[in-house]
Each structure stands twice: as C-alpha cells, then as structure tokens.
Chains A and B, each alone.
Chain A
Amino acid sequence: MGDRSVRGLGLVLAICYATFIVWLYITQPQTIAEVTGGLSSGVGAYRIDQQAFDDGLALFRQEQYAASRAAFERADPARRDARTQFYIAYSYYRSGWGRFYSDDEHFRLGLESVERAIALAPNGRLVVEDSGNYIHNADELRAELAAGLRSEPADLNPLRVFRQRK
C-alpha cells in the first residue's frame, strides 16, 4: 500500500472513529442493540420487528401490560421507534395507575419512555391514532405521568377515587 493510501486511510478512519465517539457520548447507548440500532437509524435503515409489535399491541389491548412491554421491547430493542416507545410508556401508565395512589416506579419508567418517544418523533410531535386508546398524544401522556409523580394537596381529595383511568 502506498504512502498516500496509508495516510488517507488513517485520516478517514480517525475522523469516522472520532465522530462515532462523539455520537456515543451524546446518545449514551446501553446495549449493543442500541448502538447498532442507532447507527442503522442514522442512515434510515432501522426497522422494528413488526410481528413482535403486533403481539405487544394485542397483549396491550387484553390489558396484559407486563407481557405487552416485553413484546414491545423485543420489537424495538434499540429504542429508536417513537410509536413503540409510546406504547411502552402507555403500558407503564396503565399498570402503574391506581384509584388510591400511583406506582411511582412505573410512572417514572413511563415518563422516561414517553420522553424518548417525543425526542424520536419528527418535531417532537407524536400522535398515535388507535381507537382502543384514551390517550392519543404523547404530550398528554407525558402530562399524565408527570402529574402522577407529583405530590400535591389535590391528592388528598376523596373524590379522586371516582376518576377514570385513561
């Protein structure tokens, strides 16, 4: 290999590696699937596992939220699909919601997922049209989850037991 080829190759490799490092520091992926998913979505090649997503949706509609989350996680292992992340957040909301109190851990994880979904959606706007859902908008879901995590005087209102789960 000639002198120019080696030097040119070194330059290209260094620039690509440096760009990859900056990307890793910004996105903070947790698994190899997130790294590969992030890279493939960067070039528009990322696809979710549609079969797993459909399974998750069916389980979600049967109110089997923990099982539906497992299917949604399998459908979108890289956490790069806004719609799937919305459903994961929604399942956390549903399983954490209680007539007397909400499960903070579920709501916290739900909030993380819906934040991710909003970040992934074009211009941060995500609307999921599904006749089986009460909540169609990611902003509304985020507000519900955030409200569930807040402690406020209205929590003591006994009429809260009559409120409806969304």
Chain B
Amino acid sequence: MTRATEAIFLPMLFLTVTLLGGLRVADRVTLVPPPLFALVLGLLLFGVLVRGRVIAPGYLMNASRSALENLNGLIVTLTTFFASTQIFNLVIPEFGLPFLLGNVFLFVLLLNTLAGSPDRISVLRSLGVIVGAAFILKFVVLAALADPAAGALKRVLLALLDGVTLGTLSQAPLHPATGYAAFATLLLFLVGIAMLPHSRPSAALVKLDE
C-alpha cells in the first residue's frame, strides 16, 4: 500500500462513507446519526475484519513506525470503524418490526462470523452478501411497500398487511435519491475495505529430516 493510499485516499473514502451513511432524502435532507445498536454492529464488523485479516492494525500501528505514520494508521483504523457503523445505519430499516429483526439478524450473523475462523476472501464475500441483502430489503422491498404512488389494489393489500402486522411493517417513503446515494455509499465502502492493508496467514518453513 502506498503512503498516499494510507494517508489520504482511505481516510477520505471512509469519511465520505461516514458522511453519506446517515443521508436521508425526503421532503427535506437530513443527516441521521447512527443509533446506539449500529455502534455495536460496527464494532462487531470491525472485529470480523481484524479476525479475517482484512485489516491489519499491527501493520498500521507498531513500534517500528514513526509517530506520523502511526497517526495515519490510527486515522485509517478509526475511519474504518466509523464507516462500518454508518453502513449499518444506512442499510437497517428505520423503525418497527424490520428495524428490530434487521438488528437481531445482523447481530447473530456477525457473532457467528466472529466465532468462526474466516479468511480474508470469505470475509469480503460475506460482507458483500450481508450489506447487499440488507440494501435490497430496505431500498427495494420495504421501499416498494411504502411507495405512496402505488395503485388502489396495492394500497388495499398493504392496508390489510398493515392491519395484520399492527402497522409495524410499514416504513416512511424514501426519495429515490436516497437509494442511489446508498448504493454508491455501499460500493465505496466495499472498495475501501478491499483496499485496506491486510496480513497474510502466518506460515512456517519446516525442514523435515530425511
């Protein structure tokens, strides 16, 4: 990894993800800070990234580096954590039953991944699937259910569904710009994660006696 990537590109990229992660466009533009549980999920994801050797904090900060290099490493580490948190803020539904189920599902999934011993490629693939699926659920499925421009039949069916689920399923309608911005943010995040300095599994050369 070049010094410019470590000192400039990665922090800028992750800070941009941090900024856009809370962006919501409706009748007005709002920046939503992450809920407390997103911090927990962000921490778990950071743990998964370290355990899966996607990020190597030991490479970014160690005694052999200068103070300035260590500061750059600290910035990369912190911005990775903040971006991880904001990604969950972005893809988890806003309230109701989907919010609760999304949080529980992601919590269990991340704990399960953390308990295993995944390698770097597996973690990257798994992360793509997790955030991609959550994105589709929130910005395609639930957004379609909340679409105010739907036809009369669809509105009746949704009203019935709302009645059955006691109104816990429906979400606030989203402006299409939110979905496009969210998609770009997810791509940025995945690119940034793939660019992080990573460590290889340790190996030893052993000479077998003849």
| Interface set of A (CB-CB < 8 Å, partner B) | 3-4, 6-11, 13-14, 17-18, 21, 24-25, 28, 30
Contact = CB atoms under 8 A, between A and B. Distances in A.
Given A7-B72, A10-B72, A18-B79, 7 more contacts: A6-B8, A7-B3, A10-B11, A11-B68, A14-B11, A14-B79, A28-B30
Given A3-B3, A6-B8, A21-B18, A14 B31 contact: no
Judged by DSSP, the binding face of A is helix
Interface in B162-194: none
Contacts of A17: 11-12, 15
A9 to B, nearest CB: 7
A11 B8 CA distance: 8
Contact of A7 (B31, B69, B79): B69
Contacts of B72: 7, 10-11
A6 B68 CA distance: 10
B30 A7 contact: no
B19 interface: yes
B7 A11 contact: yes
Nearest to B33: A25
Nearest to A11: B71
A18 B12 CA distance: 9
A10 B7 contact: yes
Given A14-B75, A21-B15, A25-B33, A7 B68 contact: yes
Interface residues of B, number: 22
A5 to B, nearest CB: 10
A21 B19 contact: yes
Contact of A28 (B3, B15, B31): B31
Interface string B3-20: 110111001100100110
B137 to A, nearest CB: 25
Nearest to A16: B15
Contacts of A25: 22, 31, 33
B31 A24 contact: yes
A28 B68 CA distance: 33
Interface in B24-47: 28-31, 33
A109 B28 CA distance: 15
A6 B30 contact: no
Contacts of B75: 10-11, 14
A30 B29 contact: yes
Contacts of B19: 21, 24
5 contacts: A7-B3, A7-B7, A13-B12, A17-B11, A24-B19
A102 to B, nearest CB: 23
A4 B67 CA distance: 11
A30 B22 CA distance: 14
Contacts of A21: 15, 18-19
Given A10-B8, A17-B12, A4 B68 contact: yes
Contacts of B31: 24-25, 28
A73 to B, nearest CB: 16
Contacts of B7: 6-7, 9-11
A17 B9 CA distance: 12
A87 to B, nearest CB: 23
A30 B69 CA distance: 37
Contacts of B12: 13-14, 17
